Amino acid sequence: EDKVVQSPLSLVVHEGDTVTLNCSYEVTNFRSLLWYKQEKKAPTFLFMLTSSGIEKKSGRLSSILDKKELFSILNITATQTGDSAVYLCAVANAGGTSYGKLTFGQGTILTVHP
Amino acid sequence: DGGITQSPKYLFRKEGQNVTLSCEQNLNHDAMYWYRQDPGQGLRLIYYSQIVNDFQKGDIAEGYSVSREKKESFPLTVTSAQKNPTAFYLCASRDSHNSPLHFGNGTRLTVT
């Protein structure tokens, strides 16, 4: 069974701090790893990673994948109160009977205080 | 505007009744997914479908059923066999295995 574990489960910081969220995984046939932000209802897409060592960046957010050690990190620099959300990590399976399956982790609840 | 529509937004049912949650997409996506979200547990996969007339069980399929008779529609039935049906249900779709999921706004089901 595919497995995705995120840490920490929750994090409280102050505006301006930098945070690192972790995602480790076990999957039979890895295709990609995805990060999402969920504020109210529908998760919104942040990044999709398929290759090791290549950083993806969008504003103050960045993410990188290590396929040898089976983990990814999501960094947020100079946090703002609007970054408060649940951050979700998911892994896509590429093979066999689990082709197309996307498994999510438990999520990290980030709270940014002013 | 293209997107995924889930209805209703809130749904209340008595224990022992089956209930069907609607999910419609006009994105022309081949693959569709159903997830359940409980507090502190992230998203758990119920069922997914790669093409019309075919679907696979996810990690928590017991007590649920789906159909995929049309490309744009993937309804989820929560049966009376599901022990703890009260949850937030999210439907998603994507057009290929190299693209991200697009989510609907969810249906919050309460069973009493």
A77 to chain B nearest CA, in Å?
A: 24
A105-109, B47-51, B94-98, B100-104 — which is least confidently predicted? Answer: B94-98
Test mutation, A5, A6, A93, A101, chain B, max B CBs within 10 A? A101
Round to whole Å and give the CA distance between A88 and A4.
10
Q: What percent of chain B has pLDDT over 70?
A: 98
Q: What percent of chain A has pLDDT over 90?
A: 86
Stretch A65-70: mean pLDDT: 95
Chain B residue closest to A105 (CA)? B42
B56 to chain A nearest CA, in Å?
A: 8
Q: Which residue has the higher pLDDT, A85 or A40?
A: A85
Stretch B67-84: mean pLDDT: 95
Residues of chain A contacting B96 with CB distance shorter than 8 Å? none
User: What per-residue string of b and e applies to B73-106 under the rule 16 or more CB within 10 Å gives b?
Assistant: ebbbebeeebeebebebbbbbbeebebbbbbbeb
pLDDT-derived band of residue B1, with 50, 70 and 90 as boundaries?
low
| Residues 6 or more apart in contact with residue B87 via CB below 8 angstroms | B36, B37, B38, B108, B109
Residue A94 confidence (pLDDT)? 86
